[in-house]
Amino acid sequence: MNPTAMTFPPGLEQGIHAAGVIAVLVIDDPADAVPLAGALAAGGINAIELTLRTPSALESLAAIKKHAPQMLVGAGTVLTPAQIMQARAAGADFAVAPGCNPRVLAAAAEAGLPFAPGIATPSDIEAALEFGCRLLKFFPAEPSGGLAYLKNMAAPYAHLGLRYIPLGGVTAATAAAWLADPLIAALGGSWLAPRVLIQARDWSAVTQRAAEVAAIVRAARNRSA
């Protein structure tokens, strides 16, 4: 195992920071994947977490990478070592999971696929550190205690330069507060393109939600520049 393989290459981490928001997607019909990616891009959102919760998720991921190569696409809900290999073969730029499973972490390190495990406790963070992870997904962010909880939990690890992606209960209403904190690389959530909007193929609503949060990201980045 090569722990350094777990780190996100600087260009990818910068890309995620620049994107500011990652749209968490559950896609049932792979025919929706490319129009959905187009609707998000039209609103200014260029990063996706495509969850492996539906049978055709990998097909959707590959279609987006082929037809919208500018999109940063991570595989989400990666629960097994086999899914790490499948995500990489489908062209995923990175992978994430709700939890911190050492077998999945080892597979990601082996495959050289940048991986951000889910963490919600100091023990989770320390398990991720064993694998050289520096970018961590904070899940479920809002119910766990939000930014106040994360800041307190992250304090003992500040010298390690860890950065976090909060997901779980995050919405446009709390986006600005998260983005203002230097611990945060980007935030994410399913509210941008919820499954019902995707099933209804309501692409204009998705673009509108994307544009709303993209404006919040721009304002936050301008404030910290």
Ligand X SMILES: O=C(O)C(=O)C[C@H](O)[C@H](O)COP(=O)(O)O
Residue 212 among the catalytic residues? no
Q: Report d(CA 188, CA 163) in Å as an integer.
A: 14
Based on the shown chain and the rule CB under 6 A, indicate whether residue 83 belongs to the binding site for ligand X: no
Based on the shown chain and the rule CB under 6 A, indicate whether residue 43 belongs to the binding site for ligand X: no
Range 183-222, binding ligand X (CB under 6 A): 189-191
Quote the least distance from Cβ 189 to ligand X, whole Å: 3
Range 91-110, binding ligand X (CB under 6 A): 96-98
Residue 13 among the catalytic residues? no
Q: How far is CA 151 from CA 91, 155, 162, 182, 203, in A?
A: 34, 6, 12, 10, 36
Residues 117-146 as x/- pattern, contact with ligand X by CB under 6 A:
-x------------------x-x-------
Q: Report d(CA 115, CA 23) in Å as an integer.
A: 17
Q: Report d(CA 147, CA 128) in Å as an integer.
A: 20
Q: Which is nearer to ligand X, 62 or 96 (CB)?
A: 96
* Count of residues in contact with ligand X, rule CB under 6 A: 17
Choose, by CB under 6 A, the member of 50, 58, 64, 167 that binds ligand X. Answer: 167
Helix (H) or strand (E) holding 25: strand 21-25
Based on the shown chain and the rule CB under 6 A, indicate whether residue 60 belongs to the binding site for ligand X: no
Check 13, 49, 65, 142 and give the catalytic one: 49
Q: Which is nearer to ligand X, 77 or 207 (CB)?
A: 77
Q: Which long-range contacts (CB under 8 A, 24 or more apart) does 64-71 make?
A: 64/33, 64/34, 64/37, 65/90, 65/91, 65/92, 66/91, 67/34, 67/37, 68/34, 68/37, 68/38, 68/41, 70/41, 70/46, 71/37, 71/40, 71/41, 71/46, 71/47
Q: Which is nearer to ligand X, 12 or 172 (CB)?
A: 172
Binding-site ranges for ligand X (CB under 6 A): 24, 51, 76-77, 96-98, 118, 137, 139, 167-170, 189-191
Catalytic residues: 49, 137
